[in-house]
Amino acid sequence: MKEIHIREMVIEDYDRFLDLMKHTSGVVIRTADSADAIQRYLERNPGLSFIAERGPKLVGCAMAGHDGRRGYLQHAMVAPEYRRQGIGKQLVARCVDVLNALGIYKIHLDVLAENRHAMSFWKHLGWTKREDIVRFSLITSEDKNA
């Protein structure tokens, strides 16, 4: 059995990344997940996003970014058949470490309200579910899947 290898995500990983998204429950693919949008995200946040591979297969991903004062995790996921092996924990730790190295010590992420598996995972890692804030969004496009 091949070892898991974690490395920085590059745009050439996009097709395998999109395939992982399609096969991971609790993940919604939006127009903002296009190859162009992901490339812009990676360029804006260099060295902050990581993938996990076993051989040629992409089995996990965690994308991170920041606004200069707060960090954000996006698309943190592990293929169902590779869960409970510490892959997600390693990916998140890499993101947290690089954000901390930049002086970013508070990191946010979004979880779909019905994704109980993800909520359990984040609580297990010590993340806190916020009860004091509500997120509002504004879509300025005709595309409601933006």
- What pLDDT does residue 137 have? 87
Residue 83 lies in a domain: yes
Residue 137 lies in a domain: no
The encoded tokens of residue 14 equal 């996009």
Give the domain extent around 80. 4-124
Q: What is the CATH number of the domain that holds 101?
A: 3.40.630.30
Whether residue 133 is contained in a domain is answered as no
pLDDT digit string (tens) for the chain, length 146 residues: 579 999 999 999 999 999 999 998 888 899 899 999 999 999 999 999 999 999 999 999 999 999 999 999 999 999 999 999 999 999 999 999 999 999 999 999 999 888 898 999 999 999 999 999 988 988 888 887 77
Q: Is residue 94 a part of any domain in this protein?
A: yes
Report if residue 108 sits inside a domain. yes
What's the total number of domains in the chain?
1
Residue 107 is assigned to a structural domain of this protein: yes
Residue 34 lies in a domain: yes
Q: Does 67 fall in a domain?
A: yes
pLDDT at 1: 56
Handedness of CA 26, 30, 34, 38 (dihedral sign): negative
Distant-in-sequence, close-in-space partners of 3: CB < 8 Å, separation ≥ 6: 54
